[in-house]
Amino acid sequence: MPSKDAVLQWQGQNMVSSDGEKIGKIEEIYLDQESGEPEWALVNTGLFGSKSSFVPIANANDEGGDVRVAYSKSQVSDAPKVEADGELSQREEGELYRHYGMDYGEASQTTTTTGGGTVGDDVSGRETDDAMTRSEEELRVGTTERESGRARLRKYVVTENVTQTVPVKREEVRIEREPITDANADDAMDGPAISEEEHEVVLHEEEVVVDKRAVPKERVRMDKEVEVEQREVSEDLSKEQVEVLDAEGEPAEGRDGVRGTDEGANR
């Protein structure tokens, strides 16, 4: 097996079975409490990391970023359920040894602890120091442009009735009578004394003539202008808070020896 320092770096790498099938991601490396050597790997094996199993790493090897162990995926998945609380009791370790077909004598019964030093259940990542990260959501509001509608210019024809008054001229016959005088006697006496005759007068009148023509009146175009309005945005934000619990899981802050700090002062 590689050196202790090399094995501790396996945290976060994928573990594969003896036939190369992916088992899960290594969450923690557990050390033998007496010898200090790596002994177990805690591996997330369930869907979305919902289950963890302990796997012996005595004969494990790093193969191109994946850690190969001498067990099948089903054997790891069927391993006894052990609470990942940072230590393995003698009873728990014995059950695991028997499951994987390994001898476990009374002389070698020791508890094990994680190689990282600090134990925690922070799902944001593996533990690397003695602090946890407190995070909270912040509201970031911006704008994005989307199409809200379209407008078109359309020209169509309507018909309206227009009435105008037009002066129309026409000729009519008017009879004028004048007495015989020296001035018109010659014209009046020209011709037979008694006779029949006709005189024709042509009369004229105006008729209304209607003509239509298209006349440009105006130019019409579309333009856009921007209107700005204020809108309120309301959203629920989540933030993490940290509290101190005692061994029974009860809040311990404020008791003797336990002093709280501002939750937002340190991250």
Enter the tokens of residue 160.
């309206």
Percent of the chain at pLDDT > 90 equals 40
The answer as to whether 128 is a domain residue is no
Q: How confident is the model at residue 116, as a pLDDT?
A: 53
- CB burial class (10 A; 0-12, 13-18, 19+) of residue 26? buried
What does the radius of gyration of the chain's CA atoms come to, in whole angstroms?
A: 55
For the stretch 64-83, pLDDT in tens is 889 999 999 999 999 998 88
Q: Find the mean pLDDT for residues 123-145.
A: 72
- The SS3 assignment for 186 reads helix
* CA dist., res. 12 & res. 126, Å (int): 8
Choose among 13, 241, 263: nearest CA to 126.
13
The answer as to whether 193 is a domain residue is no
Q: Find the mean pLDDT for residues 238-253.
A: 81
Looking at the 3D structure of the chain, how many domains does it have? 1
The answer as to whether 63 is a domain residue is yes
The answer as to whether 92 is a domain residue is yes
The answer as to whether 123 is a domain residue is no
* CA dist., res. 217 & res. 54, Å (int): 89
For the stretch 27-60, pLDDT in tens is 999 998 888 889 999 998 866 556 889 999 988 9
Q: Do β-strands 14-16 and 66-68 pair in parallel, antiparallel, or remain unpaired?
A: parallel
What domain range includes position 15?
4-114
The answer as to whether 91 is a domain residue is yes
Quickly state the pLDDT bin for 113 (edges 50, 70, 90). low
Q: How confident is the model at residue 206, as a pLDDT?
A: 92
The answer as to whether 201 is a domain residue is no
Residues in CB range of 153: below 8 A, 6 or more apart:
220, 221, 222
DSSP string, 30-90: EEETTT--EEEEEEE-SGGG--EEEEE-TT-EEETTEEE-SS-HHHHHTS-----SSEE-H
Would you tell me how many other CB atoms lie within 10 Å of the CB of residue 54? Answer: 26
CA of 254: how far to CAs of 200, 251, 261, 265, in Å? 136, 9, 11, 18
For the stretch 196-208, pLDDT in tens is 888 899 999 999 9
Phi and psi, residue 261, nearest 5°: -130, 165
15 sits in which H/E element: strand 14-16
Phi and psi, residue 108, nearest 5°: -100, 10
The answer as to whether 136 is a domain residue is no
Give the pTM. 0.43
Average pLDDT, the chain: 82
Output the domain CATH number for residue 102: 3.90.50.10
Tell how far CA 89 is from the center of its chain: 48
Phi and psi, residue 40, nearest 5°: -130, 155
* CA dist., res. 228 & res. 243, Å (int): 46
- Which range is least confidently modeled, 137-146, 150-159, 166-175? 137-146
